[in-house]
Amino acid sequence: MNLTLAVLAAGMGSRYGGLKQMDPIGPSGEFIVDYSIHDAIRAGFDKVVFVIRKDIEDAFKSTIGARIEKQVRTVYAFQELSTALPQSFAIPADRKKPWGTGHAVLVCADAIHEPCAVINSDDFYGRDSYTVLADFLEATTDESHYAMVGFALRNTVPEHGTVARGICGVAKNGLLESITETVGIERSGDGFSSANRVLTGNELASMNLWGFMPSVFGHLKYEWELFLKRAANEAKAEFMLPAVVDKLIAEKKVSVKALRTSSPWFGMTNPADKEKVVGEIGSLIALGKYSRKLWQSL
């Protein structure tokens, strides 16, 4: 079965202070996304779709693209403010940031016609995460059955700064019941605090690692049109993928299996996170999980 990996790489990195998707963290200049794609290929994914912006196209293709195109079929989709908008829709004059992760996946509709995974370009998910997701996608025949790979919340909150996480409610049968966007999560002493709820750290958190069937694009298109009607004049409104999935679950249009992984998660939200990420990659190399020259080991 053909499997595609969609890599969301159009973010502006406002908290990080630059394009974190192109900030080297490996000993031979590798980015986090190099390790992600390396793991995905080994799990059976045979196509990569990068979602990027036109203003970073040249830099992205000359660095990440130049490496990945040698390893796997590579396609580019572009997430601009005007992408997938009705001709009659007027973009708010003060709108600067992209429309969100739901929109980022929607712009892949013409490039993906097979089961796919969706990841963030600046998050490390680990090899086991791609293996369990590939196994799910290869075994699934129900077009309305999707998957999410979740991580323990305590393992997803950086040492510095605050983050937003989708906190998952999971039924006894392993299906996702809800995703609650929770903002302002940070470490507080030995525990965690949030702007809008009490947290233990044991909650299952969605880190935007999804498995979808092609039917997702029809749902996204429909929900996107509804979103635009609600948010026509809002400069900062975002069409977020977890919110769309949560709505589809509530309306019983899809079911989503909550998959668990033995892999670690780490990522770069704030500049101070880079040192830890470099250290984590170094530890995995020392354990023999990766080569110091990553792409020589595939």
pLDDT digits (tens, 9 = 90+) for 75-128: 999 999 999 998 888 888 888 878 999 999 999 999 999 999 999 999 999 999
Asked if the model's pLDDT at residue 23 lies above 90, the reply is no
Using 50, 70 and 90 to split pLDDT, how confident is the model at 297? low
User: 91: which 2 tokens?
Assistant: 């973009």
Asked if the model's pLDDT at residue 148 lies above 50, the reply is yes
Asked if the model's pLDDT at residue 12 lies above 60, the reply is no
Q: What is the pLDDT of residue 188?
A: 83
Asked if the model's pLDDT at residue 13 lies above 70, the reply is no
Task: Tell me if the domain spanning 4-296 has CATH number 3.40.50.1220.
Answer: no
Q: Which of 186-190, 218-222, 278-282 has the lowest mean pLDDT?
A: 186-190
Using 50, 70 and 90 to split pLDDT, how confident is the model at 273? confident
Residues of the chain with pLDDT > 90, as a percent, come to 67
Asked if the model's pLDDT at residue 235 lies above 90, the reply is no
d(CA 166, CA 131): 22
Using 50, 70 and 90 to split pLDDT, how confident is the model at 271? confident
Using 50, 70 and 90 to split pLDDT, how confident is the model at 164? confident
- Which candidate, 123, 169, 144, places its Cα nearest to that of 5? 123
Beta strand 4-8 pairing with 191-193: unpaired
Mean pLDDT over all residues of the chain? Answer: 90
Report the pLDDT averaged over residues 33-57: 96
